[in-house]
Amino acid sequence: MSVTIKSAKEIELMREAGKILAEVHDALEQMIKPGISTLDIDKLATEKIRSFGCIPSFLNYNGYPASVCVSLNDEVVHGIPKKNRIIKEGDIVSLDAGVIYQGYHSDAARTIAVGNVSKEAELLINVTKQSFFEGMKYAKAGNHLHDISAAIEDYVIAHGFTCVKDLVGHGIGTQMHEDPQIPNFRQKRRGIRLEPGMTLAIEPMVNAGSHEVWCLEDDWTIATQDGSLSAHYENTIVITTGEPEILSLRW
């Protein structure tokens, strides 16, 4: 597949998908407190997504059994919700969810602190989020894709953290994963030229320790190898003739 340019009409549908997903994330964020299970989060996610007439895009994707990925602490992404996995004070919780609205996808992730967390955890969450916005400064027509990658990594490294290299962001549209792949670290080549109408899911995954990750026994959960904390922040965006439009964020 190659990189597709979306029409104004397609972008309008993705705008709606993004707006809905932002609301879903807001609702999930509000329910995060000590004592709830990761499965409780998934139940609300499924309900909320369907209440907007959307399809939860993760559910059954390559056999994934839930609507949301809930990854705690040293888990990077793809944590599977479970009844007996209970959120506690001091945890950091990464929530990744996707919706399909009238055939168009939106994909977004947030990392949330549960009550009082360590100084390191707080900094990690903030640096991860800000690294996305550092990338946004280069998400402009005429720039190259890997300008975004480099900006993300430079910011992360400057704060003493590392970017996961084994997982990448992606194009998005009628499919959750479209071309191009979007690494979160500096590349040797500049990558494709960005053009108005390209829709991308940019998603830095940042570790407090080494960038090395592995897959747990459940064949889904990705965790840091050294047990250090990890955070994730993702939005679906569209490249325009000016500033990028962040579709999955409520301002």
Specify binding-site residues.
Answer: 78, 96, 107, 170, 177, 203, 234
Q: Is residue 98 within the footprint of ligand MF3 (CB under 6 A)?
A: yes
Binding mask of the shown chain, residues 105 to 134, with x at each position contacting Co ion by CB under 5 A: --x---------------------------
Least Å distance, CB 151 to Co ion, is 18
Tokens of 18: 């993004």
By the 8 A CB rule, do 155 and 196 touch? Answer: no
Interface stretch with ligand MF3, choices 24-32, 55-63, 82-90, 112-120 (CB under 6 A): 55-63
Q: Is residue 201 within the footprint of Co ion (CB under 5 A)?
A: yes
Place of tokens 């191009």: 180
Nearest to Co ion of 48, 105 (CB atom): 105
Q: Residues 196, 97, 146, 124: is their CA dihedral positive or negative?
A: positive
Please enumerate in sequence order all residues whose Cβ is within 8 A of that of 150, keeping only pairs 6 or more positions apart, or say none: 138, 185, 186, 187
Where is the binding site for substrate, in residues?
78, 177
Interface stretch with ligand MF3, choices 45-53, 54-62, 121-129, 148-156 (CB under 6 A): 54-62
Tokens of 121: 């955890």
Q: Is residue 133 within the footprint of ligand MF3 (CB under 6 A)?
A: no
By the 8 A CB rule, do 41 and 31 touch? Answer: yes
How far apart CA 230 and CA 26 sit, in angstroms, is 21
Q: Is residue 76 within the footprint of Co ion (CB under 5 A)?
A: no
How far apart CA 104 and CA 15 sit, in angstroms, is 9
Tokens of 149: 């990658």
Strand, helix or coil at 152?
helix
Nearest to ligand MF3 of 19, 232 (CB atom): 232
**Total number of residues binding ligand MF3 (CB under 6 A)?**
11
How far apart CA 92 and CA 27 sit, in angstroms, is 17
Bridge partners of 169, per DSSP, are 182
Interface stretch with Co ion, choices 15-23, 81-89, 143-151, 201-209 (CB under 5 A): 201-209
Binding mask of the shown chain, residues 191 to 220, with x at each position contacting ligand MF3 by CB under 6 A: ----------x-x-----------------
How far apart CA 63 and CA 191 sit, in angstroms, is 31
Q: Is residue 40 within the footprint of Co ion (CB under 5 A)?
A: no
Give residues 59-78 in contact with ligand MF3 (rule: CB under 6 A).
Answer: 61-62, 64, 69, 78
Question: Using CB under 6 A as the criterion, which residues of the chain lie in contact with ligand MF3 when the complex forms?
Answer: 58, 61-62, 64, 69, 78, 96, 98, 107, 201, 203
Q: Which residues bind Co ion (CB under 5 A)?
A: 107, 201, 203
